[in-house]
Amino acid sequence: MKKKLTLLTLSAALLLSACGNTIAENNDIRSSVANNELAADSRSAEPVSEDTAETVTTAAETVTTTTTTPTTTTPPVTTTEPPAEETYEYMNGCILAYAGTPQVRAMEEFYYSTENGRYLADCVDVFADSVGANVSTSLMLIPTSQAFYTPAELKDSYPDQKECADEVYSMMTSGKGVPINSVLEEHKAEYIYSRTDYHWQPLAAYYAAKVYAEQSGVDFADLKSYEEVEREGYLGAFYSVNDIYPLEEYPDTFTYYKPANLDKLGVVFHDTYFGEGYEGQLFFEDNDIASSYTVFVGTDDTILEVDTDAANDRVLVIFKDSYGNALVPFLTSSFKKIYLCDNRFFDINSVNFVHDVGATDVLFALGAASSGNYDKIELIENNMYK
């Protein structure tokens, strides 16, 4: 394996607002110059991240799948019509927009620096070089809702997420970018992001997965072939963790989609060392309404293995944060086997793992906030050298 990337030593107190990131050249690895200061647009407060707010369900707590749609006494609100008046305020570290209307939504603030973007691009390139040209390595940066729904008055206060993603993609030479911002922009009038939670809705993941499948040259099932299931009265992490209570009046409807080949899937959960696994299920439909985003996959602290009936021999490994979970159901008709690995819960060498499972494709699927967070990017590097 190529020699490990040379990095500046980080202090234990390193935060998003106090790091610059690049990679020094070792042998064939591309050269970069380390920088200890963030760009001037960095802010002192660290944004809400999916790590701090995420509900993690242990894989051992497997529940029985049911096709019954959960309900609550709270009426659902699904309108995506633009509000008559653009209003906003800052509340508990987030942007609260359009309060008092059915379009009310909370959004995390987006941060980015070119230094961190360079670090991410270099990490993906080094990984791609390490696994070799026979494995197609790609990066998908998944925008947050702020990219599409920020009030006009605030837009110039934050980096443009599409421009940031495009910059990262342009800096890669071995990895491939999977640009999805424009596609999601085209569908932003649809219910593609929760208003009470920082995650995207599964519908957005469908559009993103389609881009990746087309780019990869594999089949992709039309949404019409999926069974649509609605969970009404969903109040996500902005409400339950960040205590943004004005969201309570207008909860989300969380809609997910079950693939037509669901009963043909083989699902195995392994521990984070890829030990002997146990059979499980792809959907955890008994999870309560507040944990709706955990309906698919159910947990982050495992290595998930999914065998499908796809008519090819392609093996996909997804290295992800929580955003990547929603992609899996939409790729079960595209790849013969899928492995889902969370960068935060992965205790073996990622390069060796890709070779051991015979992967033909690797996708790094990360929320856009990761492109501005040194610690999350560093997970990619650290996992290459365990």
268 — pLDDT class (breaks 50, 70, 90)? very high
Query: Could you tell me the residue range of the domain that residue 166 belongs to?
Result: 16-384
Asked whether residue 177 is assigned to any structural domain, the reply reads yes
84 — pLDDT class (breaks 50, 70, 90)? confident
Asked whether residue 1 is assigned to any structural domain, the reply reads no
Q: What is the pLDDT of residue 80?
A: 59
Q: What is the pLDDT of residue 86?
A: 85
Mean residue pLDDT of the chain comes to: 84
- C-alpha–C-alpha distance, residues 51 and 113, integer Å: 20
Q: What is the pLDDT of residue 83?
A: 75
Specify the number of domains making up the chain: 1
Contact 198, 236 (CB under 8 A): yes
- C-alpha–C-alpha distance, residues 249 and 240, integer Å: 14
Of residues 83 and 55, the one with the higher pLDDT is 83
- Residue 348: CB partners within 8 Å, gap ≥ 6? 272, 273, 274, 386
Q: What is the pLDDT of residue 79?
A: 53
Asked whether residue 3 is assigned to any structural domain, the reply reads no
Q: Could you report the per-residue pLDDT of 203-241, keeping only the tens digit for each?
A: 999 999 999 999 999 999 999 999 999 999 999 999 999
How large is the average pLDDT for residues 172-195? 97
Alpha helix stretches (DSSP H) within 92-232 = 114-131, 146-149, 161-171, 181-186, 202-216
Q: Could you report the per-residue pLDDT of 15-40, keeping only the tens digit for each?
A: 333 333 333 333 333 333 233 333 33
- Residue 285: CB partners within 8 Å, gap ≥ 6? 63, 65, 66, 67, 68, 70, 229, 295
Q: Could you report the per-residue pLDDT of 281-340, keeping only the tens digit for each?
A: 999 999 999 999 999 999 899 999 999 999 999 999 999 999 999 999 999 999 999 999
147 — pLDDT class (breaks 50, 70, 90)? very high
Asked whether residue 9 is assigned to any structural domain, the reply reads no
Q: How far is CA 27 from the centre of its chain?
A: 32
Asked whether residue 193 is assigned to any structural domain, the reply reads yes
How large is the average pLDDT for residues 36-50? 35
Asked whether residue 11 is assigned to any structural domain, the reply reads no
Asked whether residue 369 is assigned to any structural domain, the reply reads yes
Of residues 160 and 32, the one with the higher pLDDT is 160
Of residues 47 and 300, the one with the higher pLDDT is 300
At how many degrees (to 10) do helices 114-131 and 161-171 cross?
40
Contact 54, 342 (CB under 8 A): no
How big is the CA angle at 274 (ends 315 and 215), to the nearest 5 degrees?
25
Tokens of 93: 């570290």
Quick check: 155 pLDDT over 90?
Answer: yes
Tokens of 334: 């595209």
Tokens of 53: 């707010």
Asked whether residue 83 is assigned to any structural domain, the reply reads yes
